[in-house]
Amino acid sequence: MSDVSLANESHPKGLYVLFFSEMWERFCYYGMRTLLTLYLVKSLLKGDGEAALIYGAYTGLIYAAPLLGGKMADNFLGYRYAVILGGILMSIGEFLILGGTEQFLLIGMGALIIGNGYFKANISTIVGKLYKDGDPRRDSGFTIFYIGINIGALMATTIVAYIGETYGFDKGFALAGIGMLLGVFIFWSGRKKYEDAPGVTIPEAGKKKFWGPLNVAHAISIGSLLLIPACYFLIFQNSYMSYLLTGLFFWIAYNMIAAGANQDKIDNNGGKIWRDRMIALVIFMVINIVFWACFEQAGTSLTLFADRNVNRAIFGWIMPASMTQFFNPAFIIIFGSLFSVMWIKLSKIGRNPSIPLKFSLGIFQLGLGFLVTLVGLQFVNASFQVPLLTLVFLYMLHTTGELFLSPIGLSMVTKLAPKPVAGTAMGAWFLSFAIANYLGGIIASFTGGHGGEEKLSLADGLEKYTSVFSNLGFVLLGIAILIALLNKPLKKLMHGVE
């Protein structure tokens, strides 16, 4: 069948089951993320810097966990069992936070981290396995899937954000947990529509007896609960995260490149195709870290900036600060379908930008978004607040940049990775998000000074926010230009992957 006729076919039915399952999982995750910084600062009375580091450690671990979750699914659990286990753990985590103390928050975070590790990497892997090699619908399918992610995020940053700030943070966290249970139900009830995807069922290694009535899959499930205290410790003592994430990055980079070289031997292709592709994937992981460390200011410094230095009045109604995060998923939904069609159209006429150029353009737009704050400074009111339009245009540019990079990145991993390590490679890709989120917390801490013993005035706070944001913007523009200059060497390493 030709590429053109494939492109004109509808997507596999399983895509839409995964679409809605992921939508509700993101409702759960972003519901938590939207409220977390404000909950730490306003309810638990943490200073900005401490709150940012807790947030960074939590979100860092959220994205590190799929490294383990992907490997366990590849070898022992199968993708379906792993996703269901993850969803149940995430819902439990949200409900634990309702205890209302820092201890309950940290335990709940631990359950959310482990649950996300099983859910996130493996549902994305199933999406990739719905398509055969060379299917031109793959990029479009991942972009559709990405729209589902952002519908969930949009609902979280409007419904959960409003309820949490208006009626109490506990109501918001409870709503997020209910959403996760709904996602698990959709995934289970629609299982027949994706059952033909390779690796969905529990492999023989997972069915082997472990002890008494327990098999290996059961033992891994129980053992996962023991990781929750470890997450508690790493969030509480978040300085250890830098050593953990750095070590994990070099370990996974080495293992991925070694897996690529081993696949070359198995295929006997007479070259170093898979090794080079794994090297390219490691480089793209570094670029991904740069993008998301800056992008993820949304949940920390940009939310606190909105709370203090943005005029959020709309016809007499004051938009809750956490709700300003909704601009990003709203723009994803507006532009997502256009991008989905655009990649296919450009591919047909041979004008589809290479993956390195897409990454470069994404980072360039991210940088421009931060520089919008300098424009907002020209319209500051007497309360040292910039217009709400400042955040609107900032998030719009961040979103278009995201669409150049994020859904393409998910698809890229499934193309560059050898099939035997597909889940592990997807977990490694999410490790780059982990490092980015942790670094994002460190970056956000540079804007601190509002909480704890030091308290900046609104005027000084505005100056500090815009100084950090504009510096980020200029650095990102320079990085984008560098990536564009390295386009050809990176394409060579990818050996024809587009």
Confidence of residue 9 (pLDDT cuts 50, 70, 90): low
Q: How many CB atoms lie within 10 A of CB 258?
A: 12
**Cβ contacts of residue 496 below 8 Å, gap of 6+?**
none
373-402 pLDDT, tens digit each: 999 999 999 999 999 999 999 999 999 999
In the predicted model, is pLDDT for residue 225 greater than 50? yes
2 pLDDT band, cuts 50/70/90, is very low
Question: Residue 266, Cβ neighbours under 10 Å: how many?
Answer: 10
pLDDT of residue 5: 43
Instruction: Determine the average pLDDT of the residues in 390-419.
Output: 89
Contacts of 462 (CB under 8 A, 6+ apart): 308, 309, 377, 380, 384, 385, 386
User: 134: alpha, beta or left, given left = phi > 0 and alpha = psi -120 to 50?
Assistant: left
Taking residues 53-68, what's their average pLDDT? Answer: 89
Q: What is the pLDDT of residues 435-471, one digit of tens each?
A: 999 999 999 988 875 554 457 788 888 999 999 999 9
What is the value of pTM for the model shown? 0.85
Mean pLDDT of the chain: 89
Write the pLDDT tens digit of every residue in 15-29: 999 999 999 999 999
Could you tell me the CATH number of the domain that includes residue 475?
1.20.1250.20
344-357: average pLDDT: 87
Say which residue, 58 or 129, is predicted with more confidence: 58
Range of the domain at 323: 3-494
Q: What is the dihedral angle through the alpha carbons of 55, 57, 60, 66, rounded to the nearest 10 degrees?
A: -110
Of 37-51, 318-332, 340-354, 477-491, the least confident:
340-354
- Supply angle C-alpha 220, 222, 228, rounded to 5: 100
* pLDDT recorded at residue 450: 54
The whole-number pLDDT of residue 449 equals 58
Domain count, the chain: 1
Mean pLDDT of the 346-369 span:
92
Inform me whether the pLDDT recorded for 498 exceeds 80.
no
